Amino acid sequence: MEKDGSGSRILVIDDEEIIHESLKRILGRQGHHVDTVFGAPEALICLATREYDLVLTDLMMPDINGLQLLETMRTKGYEVPVLMITGYPTIRTALEALRLGAVDYVSKPFTRQELLGPVNRTLRRGTAPLAGPSKGTGETEATGSEFSQLNLDPGDRFRLRQHSWAVYQQGGLVKVGIEKSFFEAIDTVASLEVPGENDIVEQGLVGFSLKTTSGEKHNVFMPLSGQVVKVNQDALDDPSSVAGDTWLVLVLPNRLDAELPLLLSC
């Protein structure tokens, strides 16, 4: 399979004809072969009879929604990456989809560049099993009860799979950076945009925007909501040096109780 060029076969699942036509046009111009269906039952037939490099599915569908489809695919052992299409009201459900094994998501309405960023990253990573955290990785699913009293220690680390990480600091602040796996799926960073001091950020929405030396644009979703209190100016001055261990902003979080259970604990 070609990781980000022509020739990849993509299955699109959405109940709107206009989405079918839009994705066929955008992905077809990149040389990809696109099949479209209106619901999960048809999609499962396609998956049983043809091999795909990527599944793009709407999160909110009649009969079987995106999360249920994800679970069914895992049960059947389909090792094809799934990218969710979601609207703003379902951002929290999209975060749950990442925990359940989806590789990424794109929010409606999306531009051509906002779609191609996660598609290209996913195709470069290749096929991977639909599974949650693996035993022995040091990564576990957080639970609501675990954080009911917010018994956090400085250095506790959490991650929004394939996007960003947050490390709890003394005094209740949180350092936020970009996942190593994100950088592994893109070219060298040429420019970087981050929120400014005093800006408000929201979990699951775009926090950082990157442009690579090849001209691709990529958005990184925030792991937590809150107010930015400090920006790493060194990272802005030298974007090409930014890596998986680079913090970009220091945030005063405001919804830890509700948001930490949607992340993975490292």
Higher pLDDT, residue 145 or 173: 173
Percent of the chain with pLDDT over 90: 69
Q: What is the pLDDT of residue 137?
A: 47
Six token digits for residue 207:
């926090």
Q: What is the pLDDT of residue 189?
A: 97
DSSP state of 216: -
Q: Return the minimum-mean-pLDDT range out of 67-71, 74-78, 125-129, 207-211.
A: 125-129
Distance (Å, whole) CA 164 – CA 145 = 23
Average pLDDT of the chain is 87
- Under CATH, which number does the domain 140-265 receive? 2.40.50.100
- In the numeric block, the tokens 């996913």 are attached to 122
DSSP-assigned states of every residue in 115-165: HHHHHHHHHHH------SPPTTSS-EE--TGGGTT----TT-EEEETTTEE
Residue-range domain boundaries for the chain: 9-125, 140-265
Give 48-68 pLDDT, tens digit per residue: 999 999 999 998 887 788 889
CATH architecture of 9-125: 3-Layer(aba) Sandwich (3.40)
The pLDDT confidence band at residue 130, using thresholds 50, 70 and 90, is very low
Q: Answer whether 9-125 and 140-265 agree in fold.
A: no
pLDDT in tens, 167-212: 999 999 999 999 999 999 999 999 999 999 999 999 999 999 999 9
For residue 143, pLDDT beyond 80: no
207-256 per-position pLDDT tens digit: 999 999 999 999 999 999 999 999 999 999 999 999 999 999 999 999 99
**Based on the number of CB atoms within 10 Å of its own CB, is 59 exposed (0-12), middle (13-18) or buried (19 or more)?**
buried
pLDDT at residue 139 tops 80:
no
